[in-house]
Amino acid sequence: MKNFKAYNVPKMDIKIKLDANENPFNVPEEMLKEICESVKKIDFNRYPDSETEEIRKAYGEYANVNPENILAGNGSDEFIKIIDEAFLNESDKVVILNPDFSMYGVSAEASGGNIVYFDLDDDMKLNVDELIAKVNSEGAKLLFFSNPNNPTGMSLKREEVIKIIEGCNCVVVVDEAYSEFNGVTVIDKIDDYENLIILRTCSKAVGGASIRLGFIISNKAILGEVKKLKSPYNVNSVTQVIGKVFLKNPQRILNILNIIFRERSYVCSAIKEISGIKVYDTESNFVLIKCENAEKVYEELVKQGISVRNFGGSKLKNCLRITFGTREQNDLILDSLKRILG
């Protein structure tokens, strides 16, 4: 562990935060009042419900899935770690897309796994047949991938995801953190495939990043293995209570999604008009762009109080990821990009 690099979140003086794929809309006043009233009812001297019964029921209704197939956690990151601990022995192989969510690699390395990266092509697209062949030829125990992909926004069709699940001779973890943004899910297939695990979160479309609430959804056999490693009081009472309020307002979530879909189209069309920028296709709440001297562009944006995600890896060299914000925020970053690259 001495050579292990920690996952660091940089601190900056930022006015417009478009770097973490967060929902740009805070809770409305009436919802905040409901949250406060619900929190008042908590017995703060008692441990939280270890079975997270009410929040599992609430998410089951939201996602149209049996609560018995759900476990709640302290963000989906908790379950990434537990999955590795449950299904990996020392030096077992884990296949991860390159690029994809960095925590898959962080967790696998910490668990002693042998990481095998599978590259997306130059347009950040995935060859499904080649991925399946690679997973099986390596004898991998686990495959992790996000759909839509973070950080590229690349989206797989439902039939492509099912082909991967059926074709890979290992446990397949489909991270659907951004699934509300592309409308693709295999959540209805959890009892059809014994090797399928789905991860979900309340941090993105639901807009509850601050409460750190995530879910693992799978068949009862896999959940039984996960339960052996899950802490008994892993989701605090405040998170459980607030999460219920978020999830009982699906119309608010739908309204926000429609705004983000509109902004996605608006921002991507506008960026494509700026000379010197390559825009990758996206079906998420962010867009990946590539330009010369991306580091300089990033630094200039920071000077203007705008934060985006800057990447340094070879596959993402000169790439920046921009979360879609409000129209006002989006216009500000578009104007800044035009000035910097003009």
pLDDT digits (tens, 9 = 90+) for 250-284: 999 999 999 999 999 999 999 999 999 999 999 99
Distance CA 23, CA 11 (A): 19
Whether the model pTM is above 0.75: yes
Residue 8 confidence class, pLDDT cut points 50, 70, 90:
low
Question: Quick check: 341 and 274 in contact, CB under 8 A?
Answer: yes
Q: What is the pLDDT of residue 248?
A: 95
Report the Cα–Cα distance between both ends of the chain, in Å, rounded: 46
Q: What is the pLDDT of residue 9?
A: 56
Mean pLDDT of 283-304: 97
Segment among 65-74, 76-85, 260-269, 306-315 with least mean pLDDT = 306-315
Q: What is the dihedral of CA 153, 103, 24, 213, to 10 degrees?
A: 120
Distance CA 21, CA 6 (A): 21
Residue 312 confidence class, pLDDT cut points 50, 70, 90:
confident
Q: By C-alpha distance, which of 107, 106, 115 is closest to 84?
A: 107
Distance CA 190, CA 276 (A): 44
pLDDT digits (tens, 9 = 90+) for 129-151: 999 999 999 999 999 999 999 99
CA dihedral for 190, 22, 210, 206, sign (positive or negative):
negative
Distance CA 6, CA 1 (A): 10
Distance CA 84, CA 81 (A): 5
Q: What is the pLDDT of residue 3?
A: 56
Mean pLDDT of 282-289: 99
As given in the structure block, the two tokens for residue 247 are 């999830």
Is 90 exceeded by the pLDDT of residue 314?
A: no
Token pair 């014994």 is at which residue? 194
Q: By C-alpha distance, which of 122, 145, 174 is closest to 280?
A: 122
Q: What is the pLDDT of residue 313?
A: 77
Is 90 exceeded by the pLDDT of residue 49?
A: yes
pLDDT digits (tens, 9 = 90+) for 153-185: 999 999 999 999 999 999 999 999 999 999 999
Residue 10 confidence class, pLDDT cut points 50, 70, 90:
low
Residue 44 confidence class, pLDDT cut points 50, 70, 90:
very high
Instruction: For the chain, give the secondary structure using H, E and C.
Output: CCCCCCCCCCCCCCCEECCCCCCCCCCCHHHHHHHHHHHHCCCCCCCCCCCCHHHHHHHHHHHCCCHHHEEEECCHHHHHHHHHHHHCCCCCEEEEEECCCHHHHHHHHHCCCEEEEEECCCCCCCCHHHHHHHHHHHCCCEEEEECCCCCCCCCCCHHHHHHHHHHCCCEEEEECCCHHHHCCCCHHHCCCCCCEEEEEECCCCCCCHHHCCEEEEECHHHHHHHHCCCCCCCCCHHHHHHHHHHHCCHHHHHHHHHHHHHHHHHHHHHHHCCCCEEECCCCCCEEEEEECCHHHHHHHHHHCCEECEECCCHHHCCEEEEECCCHHHHHHHHHHHHHHHC
Question: Quick check: 306 and 16 in contact, CB under 8 A?
Answer: yes
Task: Name all domains of the chain by residue range, CATH numbers in brackets.
Answer: 16-26+251-341 (3.90.1150.10), 41-249 (3.40.640.10)
